């Protein structure tokens, strides 16, 4: 198996205030973990920067223009939403995250890689059609799914989101679209307050599996087996995108779900089994949350290792 990792130094230059959980050290901690000999065969590439037009795959032009207007021209950090901040390099970082996601889709569909992981920030799954939210400017997973469909003719894309926070943005973008299945496990109640089981989309293409606070591996795996995997089997996706957040780890400060690294390894394996049955093994994974540095490094490392093992 060839697993390609897309990364770029620009991701470290997206600035947030001192003490903000979504910080550059997240990627630094992952990079330290990837120095281990187990990752010698990981095919590491520099992510390309997407054109601004790529944003329009999932967002209206006014949303793009609003984000561009919010970027400060000189040094300094600007708060543009309750939890969301931008600095002078934030647009470039966000576009490079999109570029990495689109390149990963291209590589996996054309056979240049078996699967791919994009280690980018800012994350994306809270960005709604026309709204920045929850550290996110643009929805990388939604753009990746749309790119697979528009550029490569992929018919059915499944997005599996196991970030501990519900991917409200992805749900919003695909609410009326039966060609995209969105499946999410997440803590509830928790930010952003969406993700109840009865939120199913107008085409029954949204599957939410909320988890109660202070639960752990058993409940997570039960929800995955009871709700996510049957939905994937029924949908028979041609391509799978993972919104890979690692903030359901027991060390994470922003939530109360007590997963361990093995849980992410297990979930990755289950998604890859579905991809093997229906999607020609085609999986692209995009980093979302994960705010304890040790927990993120452990969990993302095990996730990438499982992608590499096939």
Burial zone of 226 (CB within 10 Å; 0-12 exposed, 13-18 middle, 19+ buried)? exposed
Cα four-point dihedral sign 286, 288, 293, 294:
negative
SS3 per-residue string spanning 99-146: HHHHHHHHHHHHCCCCEEEECCCCCCCCCECCECECCECCCHHHHHHH
Residue 252: φ, ψ to 5°: -70, 135
Is residue 249 part of the annotated active site? The answer reads no
Active-site pick, 59, 125, 126, 166? 126
Question: Residue 257 gets which letter from DSSP?
Answer: -
Q: What is the CA radius of gyration of the chain?
A: 17
Q: What CA–CA distance (Å, rounded) separates 249 from 202?
A: 32
The residues facing 242 across adjacent strands are 160, 285
- Residue 60: CB atoms within 10 A of its CB come to 12
- Residue 192: CB atoms within 10 A of its CB come to 16
Q: What CA–CA distance (Å, rounded) separates 240 from 279?
A: 7
> Catalytic amino acids?
126
């Amino acid at each position: 198996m060839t697993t390609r990792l897309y990364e770029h130094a620009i991701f470290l230059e997206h600035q947030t205030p001192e003490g903000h959980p979504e910080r550059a050290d997240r990627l630094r901690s992952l990079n330290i973990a990837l120095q281990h000999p187990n990752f010698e065969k990981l095919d590491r590439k520099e992510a390309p920067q997407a054109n601004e037009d790529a944003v329009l795959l999932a967002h209206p032009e006014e949303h793009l223009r609003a984000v561009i207007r919010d970027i400060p021209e000189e040094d300094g950090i600007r708060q543009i939403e309750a939890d969301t901040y931008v600095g002078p390099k934030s647009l470039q970082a966000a576009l490079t995250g999109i570029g990495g996601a689109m390149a990963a889709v291209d590589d996996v569909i054309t056979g240049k890689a078996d699967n791919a992981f994009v280690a980018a920030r800012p994350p994306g799954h809270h960005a709604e059609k026309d709204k920045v939210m929850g550290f996110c400017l643009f929805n990388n997973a939604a753009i990746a799914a749309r790119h697979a469909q528009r550029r490569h003719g992929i018919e059915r894309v499944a997005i599996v989101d196991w970030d501990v926070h519900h991917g409200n943005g992805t749900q919003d973008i695909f609410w009326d679209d039966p060609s995209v299945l969105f499946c999410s496990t997440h803590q509830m109640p928790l930010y952003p307050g969406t993700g109840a089981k009865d939120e199913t989309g107008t085409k029954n293409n949204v599957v939410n599996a909320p988890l109660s606070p202070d639960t752990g591996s058993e409940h997570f795996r039960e929800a995955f087996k009871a709700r996510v995997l049957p939905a994937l089997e029924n949908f028979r996706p041609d391509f799978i995108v993972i919104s890979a957040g690692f903030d359901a780890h027991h060390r994470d400060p922003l939530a109360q779900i007590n997963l361990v690294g093995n849980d992410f390894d297990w979930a990755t394996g289950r998604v890859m089994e579905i991809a093997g049955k229906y999607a020609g093994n085609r999986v692209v994974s995009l980093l979302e949350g994960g705010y304890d540095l040790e927990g993120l490094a452990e969990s993302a490392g095990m996730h990438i290792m499982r992608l590499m093992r096939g």
